[in-house]
Structure 1
Amino acid sequence: MRALRRVKAFAPATVANVSCGFDILGFAIEALGDQVTVSFNDEARLRVLRIEGDGGKLPLEADKNTCAVAIHAMLLHLGSRQGMDIILEKGLPLGSGMGSSAASAAAALVAANVLLGEPFTKAQLVPFAMEAERVACGAAHADNVAPAILGGFVLIRDYHPLDLVPLPVPEGLYCTLLHPHLELRTEDARSVLKQQVSLKDATVQSGNIAGLVAGLYQNDLALVSRSLKDVIAEPSRALLIPGFYALRTAVMQEGALGSGISGSGPTIFVMSPSEEQARRVGAVAEALYQELGLGLDVYYSAINRQGAHVLETA
């Protein structure tokens, strides 16, 4: 069998937190994502040759680029000094709350892993991607990178040690992603969070995350709807997103299951029981943001069950 010299992979956008699951729950979406091509070089170092679609904002330096940082963590674990060249094609807007940095790291890792003969399972790649998140936003969380790599809904039961739990995806579940034309840095969105929460809020949040997981397992969309409530992070972060509460009221009146901030924002996700419902929600959102005088990108997506995967090999 001929050894591979180049692998191109895709990783999807993700919704992290999913309202009540702050830093412990995320899911992958279809269509949107990043593509990364990884090839061997003979220089025993990682090089980011080119980045497309970022408007020149992302660093080419290997110690600052999420693709290279993730691959470096993997090679370090293997004790390998293999050199690799990286080309990143951004399909996700930066600072959008749709797991942009996670998608880059996930695609890079899947490509590099295949190039090396797949020494790791997909789940084993997640800690390496978390190191890239540490560089990107200062926190090595997994609620974007785990679903970006594995697909579907993923619960992070614990971080020490890392314990990932893939969850079932109810039939018909659809998502509308609403991306207002403003950039919100993850660091800024994390800085507004309270460092302590009340016992009452912790109890409410625990009930909601338990209810959401139960709803996914039982294919009970009514229970999913009742559980999509966040009393810890959302009250602080919603103030950074114009029209957030007006939008929530409008989409719930339209029949949505629930809504919340995707990751750290400003993207808002809305869950619906069908694609038709998801598109009605999108039309309502567009009208509302037109009144606010703020541009809005609208995406419709089923839940991506595949996660990061190879597109081409050579």
Structure 2
Amino acid sequence: MNILSTVFNKEIFFVNKLKEHLAETSYKNSIELLYSCKGKIIITGVGKSGHIASKIAATMASTGTPAFFVHPGEACHGDLGMIESNDLIIAISHSGESSEIMTILPICKNRGNKIIAITSNPNSSMAKIADIHLCTYVTEEAGPLNLAPTTSTTVTLVLGDALAIALAERRNFTKEDFAASHPGGALGKKLLVLNENIMHTENQIPLVKTNQTVAETIIEITEKKLGFAIVINEDNNKLVGIFTDGDLRRTLAQNIDLNNTKIGDVAHTNCITVRPYEKAAYSLKLMQDNCINGLVVISDDEQVLGAINIHDLIAVGIK
């Protein structure tokens, strides 16, 4: 437990040190330089710094800033062609003396690329060649040997996250923007999936007319397997109501003649409806708030367009 506390305390110490000593001017200038970049943000690093660089690039890309990771070793052998003159480079190295990075930075500098260096040494080669240097102020790693990158990578990651989030705020990045780049995630589904994307349509809709019998309605509910039938007017096909499994149980308890009673006489007319262009997450909330399992999707002129069951929402991951 002692070593655990030691590691925690040392990493927290240097994160706080960065917070206290990071030059506000350099940080703000970095944000403005990144924001004004007309190309892509290229983030590079070697070893553990490379892993951190890759993660920072991924965070920026998912929060509205076009960014990707380029390994400096691969850049020396052809991948430098991926970097255009209007791109900005963030170079990461604890020592600031990475030979692989220093091989490519002068070339990029001569081509007009702006450079931000993140190191712990303001007098390093990388700091001197950069347009802006962001110092991490890390002087010790967390392990007893002071060798394995630990504190330095943690602090760099925190700094990278701060840059990414500040840029997102600068760009007025919204939840909808985030969802657009995360269509497979829970938030993406919640904000992007519409009723029309998941509703049952045409011959999948459990549909009966008011002059049909309860017995015929039961057959329709059984065949379509959504737990309800939608009742429409026989004259203009507009929505009249809904008849659910629960309504059927209540009807049976009243000993009604199923073969002669018209469904229009027993259907629940105050059914809740939604539009195809509304979010499926909104439909789920309606079901939960009203303790129901199905909804009718209608057009603005009350024509039935589809049907949604709560299992349809669960199937696509909307919770």
TM-score, reference length from structure 2: 0.22
Larger Rg: 2
Which structure has the highest helix share of the two? 2
Q: Relative contact order: is structure 1 or structure 2 higher (C-alpha 8 Å, sep ≥ 6)?
A: 1
TM-score, reference length from structure 1: 0.22
Which structure has the highest strand share of the two? 1
